[in-house]
Structures are given as C-alpha cells and as structure tokens.
Amino acid sequence: MTDYLTIVRAVYGGLSQRQAATTYHVSRNTVSLLIRHAKNQGWLTVEDLSRADATAFSPALLKPVDSVRDTTFRMPDFEHVHAELAKPHVTLKLLWEEYVESCRIGEERFYMETQFRRYYHKFARIHKATIRLEHKPALSMEVDWAGTKIAFFDPESGKMAEASLFVSVLPCSQLIYAEPFRDEKLHSWIAGHVNAFKYFEGVPKTLIPDNLKSSVKRPNFYEPELNKTYLEMSGHYGSVVLPARVRKPKDKSSVENSVLIASRKILAKLRNVQILSFADLQSLIRSALKQVNEAPLTGKSGSRWSTYLAEEKEYMLPLPEFPYEMAQWGKAKVQPNCHIAFQRKFYSVPFEYLGEEADVRATQSTVEIFYHHQRIASHKRLWGKADYSTIQEHMPPDKLFFSDWNRSRFLSWAEKTGDAARKVVEAILDRAVIEQQAYRSCFGLLNLQNKYGPQRLERACCLILTRTLSPTYQQIKNILEKNMDAAEQPGTKRKEHPSVKRGFQRGATYFGGDAND
C-alpha cells in the first residue's frame, strides 16, 4: 500500500509534484489531490505534518466527489443534439450557439461551450454507442485491400493458391465488410463494393479509396483522374469518390484499423485451417466476419451491427432497383463502313461520325458507343458466330459511302480482273445482311490484286469457286500466300522428287530373304 503521507512530506520538503509522482510511481493527479487535502486540513508545512498519521490520507480521498449541478442553468436537450449532429455540416459549436440563443430568448442561464461539450460527451457515453464528432452517419465508406493474403487449395489447378481480402468500413458505426477474391483486379474491386452495399442494405454518400489503379488512374491532389469504370459504378449508386491523398494513411484511418482487425480476427484465426476450396474460404470468412460485427464493442453496450442499425442505417442512401453491372471501356475509330470494331465484332455507328474516335462501353448484354460523352449508338452484344450488328439508319446514302464506292463499282472493278473475280465479289456482296458490311472484304480483294497481280488473283478465284459457293477474302488470301494457285495452273507439272533413302535401312538380306525377291 502506498504511503501517501510520505509523498506529501516529500513535496513539502522541496520535491516538485511531477518529481514526486515519478519517484513514488503514482499519477500527478494523485499527488495534487493529496496536497489539496493536506492544505484543507491546515497542514501547510512539514512541522504541521508531524501531527498527522498515515490514516489521515486514506485511498478514499482519491475518489472524485460528484459535484451537485446548479439547477439554475438550463440543461440542453442532448437527444436533440445527438440527432442533429448526424446531419451534414452540423457541428457541436453550431448547436451550442443555437442553445445559447434559445436561453437568451427565454432569459435562462446557459452553459459555456466547454461545459456543453463535457455534458454531451457524458450523455453519449452512457446513452449512445457513438459520439458524433468526426464521422457523420452514412457520410463515407473507406475501402482497401488487406496486405496479408490467405492460402487455399484450388481444385481446378490442383495446387495451392492465394486470395486477397477486400475490406470496407463505415467510420461512424465501425461496421466492417470483408470478402476474399482470387485477385485484386478491377472486376474484383468493383464486385467488392457492390457486395458491400448489399451487405449494408444501403449506400454511403462518399467512397474513400486508396490510390490504386483500380480506383485512381492518375493521382492528383486537386483533380485526380478516376478509373472510368469505378466512377461509373459510384454514379450508379449515387455516391461520390474522394480518394485519399498519396502517402496520407490518416485520410482513411478507419479502414487501416479495420484491415488490422480483419487480419487479426479473421485471417489469423484461419492460419492453421486447411481450406480445401475457394467456396470454403468464402464461407469461413463470412462466419468470422459475423462474429466480429456482433461482438460487443469495448466500453460500449452494443456491437458494430447493433450500432449501425440504431444510429446509421436510416441515413444510408437506398439501393438502386438493379445492382451495377460490370462494364468494360475502350476506344475505337469509326471505320469507312460506319462500324467500330470491339473484340473482333463490329457495331454500326451513324455515318456522321466516320473517321472519329469513339468511347465504347460493353457489358455482358449491351455495347454502347459514346462520342464526346454523348451516346450515339447502342447494340445488343454479339457472342455467337455473328460478326456484325448493323442498324440500317446508321448507313449513309450510297453516294457518300466510301467516297462513291458501291456495289456497281466493285463489280465493275472485278470484271477487269476476270469473270471468276466478279463471281467472287458478287457472292460476297450477296451474302452480307447489309451490303455495306461486305465492302471491307471487297477492299481486301483489291489490295490482294495490288500485291499479287490480277492474273494470280483470277486463278485463286477460279480455284476457290471449285471448292465452295460461299468464298471469303481470307480463303483467297490463304491460297495466294501458300502458292496454291500456281499448282493448279494449266500445263504446270508437279515436280517429282527422287526417292532418297533416309535413316538406317537393314534391307531384306538382314531378315534372311533375297533382295531380288
């Protein structure tokens, strides 16, 4: 037991309160309370302390005595204060000013700002799960990848693989969402957000990611260039992306702490578990996440989940009718046949945009084409054997197409090469659903003539017509590249190669026979 009388004697003997606290291993507040008690008893010097004994400084002296509140002061309505703090841009100072104004109107005594804050903190600690000073409910969601990966057995590859853990947190209630993914690519990043919104059953107003490529294409303090797919996803849910500053982890301190919690309470718990598939890993992490969110918070009566339901969920934005569908973005130039090429499929564009570069947005079901952020065409995405999706209204009048290239002109050109070339061009034109789709193939034949000459092209066309009724540009190109037309030329004899013995040959005599038999 600490001898408090000795501590007081040491201070009266010339030792400072700070030095006494260090020497006797007590707090400075304890020393201060002991000195105050001694002075209240009239013991002001070392000689005065000779009349006191150790029992005069009992531990009960160190317990703070609750002061009686002066009832002449009007107590603020802290239920109202707590509710108002949830609204955007509302601060405790603003609410104190409004409280002061109302007291002055009613000619009542009011607390100063320091007391106002102290009483609010006491109220929130006792009656509420959160103290709304730094984080507004539903204002933000911080997101990141956990640095530690977790191993699992992949039956598809037959070997061990590693998964990454996506972590998001709502700073106000500290509710965490975590999900494993096979990689950290864009599609996993987007899926993590979509699943987090579904888990929260609502959407926060802002998203605070790190500066990884999946979210920020080019970091900049003033105008960061965001990944187009990520920006589109946030817009679909009505949220705004506010990336953290480069090398400023405090901008997303909540998710940094949540990553630590997830690593300790989820990943560390699974370190010795044999995970036999990715589905098993997902199930184990869902179970561990439930335990984390339903466990009582330190010093609080509720859990993360109960706090979220009680104080934050009602402020979340509603989920849209349909979840966001992952989209791919790319660029393509409008070709002379009024189509753009995307992943070896062709989609028509209004002829006014010939030669222009357009943005392409593709989902599993649709392909949309944008020019200067305005949508100019939309198509059902092609997945089967069909190569062209053409809207007739996109096609221009014949006199504008290919600078006066049309069916009659292609046929006229083919006649100059030969009758077989004309038949091939005519077959290509007739086979196209929209005639203009075949112009690319016709131009390809024109280029083959420039490279191999009209005679070889005509022979190749003759050869292909003997083999198929639906000739293509690629088939004729293959014939010319492999010189197959030369072998079919009339009067050309095939070269006879003399028989040459190859390798080691034993002969008939080796087996007991006669070589002349």
Q: Is this structure's pTM higher than 0.95? A: no
Distance between CA atoms of 350 and 341, rounded to whole angstroms? Answer: 14
Are the CB atoms for 180 and 188 separated by under 8 Å? Answer: no
> Given this model, what pLDDT does residue 486 score?
80
pLDDT digits (tens, 9 = 90+) for 275-319: 999 999 999 999 999 999 999 887 667 899 998 998 899 999 999
> Given this model, what pLDDT does residue 478 score?
92
3-state DSSP assignment of residue 268: helix
Helix (H) or strand (E) run with residue 331 in it: strand 328-333
* Residue 495 pLDDT grade (very low, low, confident, very high; cuts 50, 70, 90): very low
- Domain boundaries in the chain? 4-60, 78-127, 140-315, 328-394, 403-487
Closest by CA to 336, choosing from 425, 430, 440, is 440
> Given this model, what pLDDT does residue 66 score?
53
Q: What is the mean pLDDT of the chain?
A: 85
Tell whether the model's pLDDT for residue 161 goes beyond 90: yes
> Given this model, what pLDDT does residue 490 score?
55
343, two tokens? 């992943």
> Given this model, what pLDDT does residue 223 score?
82
Place of tokens 């302390």: 49
> Given this model, what pLDDT does residue 65 score?
52
Query: Which DSSP state fits 73?
Result: B
| Cα pseudo-dihedral 306, 308, 311, 317, rounded to 10 | -150
> Given this model, what pLDDT does residue 510 score?
59
- In this structure, the number of other CB atoms found within 10 A of the CB of residue 327 comes to 19
241, two tokens? 């992306």
Distance between CA atoms of 409 and 417, rounded to whole angstroms? Answer: 13
pLDDT digits (tens, 9 = 90+) for 450-473: 889 999 999 999 999 999 988 999
Tell whether the model's pLDDT for residue 505 goes beyond 70: no
Tell whether the model's pLDDT for residue 403 goes beyond 50: no
Query: Which DSSP state fits 270?
Result: G
Tell whether the model's pLDDT for residue 496 goes beyond 80: no
Q: Which CATH class is domain 140-315?
A: alpha beta
3-state DSSP assignment of residue 377: strand
131 or 96: which leads in pLDDT: 96
Distance between CA atoms of 211 and 224, rounded to whole angstroms? Answer: 9
Backbone angles phi, psi at 224, to 5 degrees: -65, 140
Instruction: Calculate the CA 256 to chain-centre distance.
Output: 16
Are the CB atoms for 437 and 390 separated by under 8 Å? Answer: yes
Instruction: Calculate the CA 231 to chain-centre distance.
Output: 10
> Given this model, what pLDDT does residue 406 score?
74
Query: Which DSSP state fits 414?
Result: H
3-state DSSP assignment of residue 147: coil
Distance between CA atoms of 242 and 231, rounded to whole angstroms? Answer: 11
Q: What percent of the chain has pLDDT over 90?
A: 45
281 or 52: which leads in pLDDT: 281
User: What DSSP string describes 334-361?
Assistant: PPTTSEEEETTEEEE--GGGTT-EEEEE
